[in-house]
Amino acid sequence: MSIVEVKVPQLSESVAEATMLTWKKKPGDAIAIDEILIEIETDKVVLEVPAPSAGVLAEIVQGDGATVVADQVIAKIDTEGKAGAAAPAAAPAAAPAASAPAPAQAAAAVTGGSKSDVSMPAAAKLLADNNLKTGDVAGSGKDGRVTKGDVLGAVASGATAKAPVAAPAAKPALQQVAASASPKDLGDRPEERVPMSRLRARIAERLLQSQSTNAILTTFNEVNMAPVMEMRKKFQDAFTKEHGVKIGFMSFFVKAAVHALKKYPVINASVDGNDILYHGYFDIGIAVGSPRGLVVPILRNADQMSFADIEKKIAEFGQKAKDGKLSIEEMTGGTFSISNGGTFGSMLSTPIINPPQSAILGVHATKDRAVVENGQIVIRPMNYLAMSYDHRIIDGREAVLGLVAMKEALEDPSRLLFDI
């Protein structure tokens, strides 16, 4: 037998641990080299773990839902094994007792105990709490011992009339917590408890951080999108033929934002202790929705990008977000962000600043509205802009004038060509 270890890939310096999602193979299955065995979720991205060698999956060391760190062994591959061979007894091992199992694995979690126990200490307490006896629950531990996971599974499947046992106290911040394996039966008012993903927990943490550490104000304006729409219509076919991608609104918003940030550099700055850190570059974060939550990949050096560069990169980010393929590097940094709630039909919103940035632009749905021009009521395609800013370093004057500069650039796109 020749064993090759499968390890957790390297995580970024800011990521201490990750959560195992669902194994795509089981012990005894044949695997090919580079075949994806499992995905591991950090608080920023989801990483794929490929097989380092072909062979047979001999053992799963860390099960679904386990909390792991970089370089930790999570499985073993027998490069000389035959598919269907019996797996070692340790194969179904779940997450360490300190980490909470994912819902689907709640019934299979295994905790430690002495060999002489009929039921392990934690399991014994849960049995007593739910008026169960050892004989009421099938044991999956060594020598048929009843584990905590066995009791939780029995409770969730209705072995007792009492409500499911509460999960142990969650670890701080980004730890997942145990959840009921099925919805609570409350007649016509059902409930279901599910754990936050690491990404969702991280989003929640950063939003609270932003609101508690920034002095957030929001300024609003409206922009007539007719000039941009006319320009897109005029050049769309030629642009698509030349660059292989359609020109959208977002590239205009990015260009307009960079135009304003050059005029008012403090909007592109950030707070660092008691200092204001002015950035001599323009890295624009683009908020993108994904199945696992909101992510903000970065357009690096956006001031040096063409309209085509921006559109291609945004399309790439959108696909990667959908597939869960965005890298940590693609979402790290940024000096200013843009959030486009208009894609979902939003009329107006107050976006929250993405730390450590000091401002964010919110754009919304473009709708025909009645406006007054030269004393006459006319119909124009209008978009409401909202810019939230950190009032600690950005005064109202800079914020308002910065948003006006964006408005003027969008209402007269030729300004972007001449930087005026």
CATH number of the domain at 339, please.
3.30.559.10
90, 75 Cβ separation under 8 angstroms = no
- Last residue in a domain, options 78, 93, 118: 78
Residue 121 counted as domain residue: no
**142 lies in some domain:** no
For residue 54, tell me if it sits in a domain: yes
Determine the Cα–Cα distance for residues 153 and 183; give it in Å rounded to an integer: 14
Nearest by Cα to 334 from 256, 272, 282: 282
- Report pLDDT for 114: 38
- In eight-state DSSP terms, residue 145 is P
Nearest in space to 394 (alpha carbons), one of 295, 284, 260? 260
In a domain, 136, yes or no: no
- What are the catalytic residues? 391, 395
Q: pTM (2 decimals)?
A: 0.63
Helix (H), strand (E) at residue 253: helix 250-263
Residue closest to 175 by CA, chosen among 202, 157, 148: 202
The pLDDT, as a whole number, for residue 261 is: 98
Distance separating alpha carbons of residues 206 and 200, to the nearest angstrom: 10
Q: Tell which of 52, 78, 104 closes a domain.
A: 78
Flag whether 220 is in a domain. Answer: yes
How many other β-carbons are positioned within 10 Å of the β-carbon of residue 174?
Answer: 23
264 vs 262: CA distance, rounded Å: 6
Tokens of 402: 């910065």
The count of domains in the chain is 2
Does some domain include residue 195? no
Residue 139 lies in a domain: no
String of DSSP letters for 192-254: ---PPPHHHHHHHHHHHHHHHHS-EEEEEEEEE-HHHHHHHHHHHHHHHHHHSS---SHHHHH
Tell me which residue has tokens 């729409």: 229
The answer to whether 107 and 61 have CB atoms below 8 angstroms apart is no
Query: Does residue 94 lie in a domain region?
Result: no
Which domain-ending residue is among 47, 78, 109? Answer: 78
Segment-wise mean pLDDT, segments of 10 residues, the chain, 420 residues: 88 78 90 90 82 92 89 90 56 40 35 42 64 70 64 62 44 42 68 84 85 94 97 94 94 96 97 95 92 86 96 93 84 93 91 94 96 96 97 97 97 82
User: 399 and 251 in one domain?
Assistant: yes
Q: What is the CATH number of the domain that holds 14?
A: 2.40.50.100
One-letter amino acid of 371 = V
* Range(s) of the domain holding residue 54: 3-78
Q: Please say whether the beta carbons of 303 and 262 come within 8 A.
A: yes
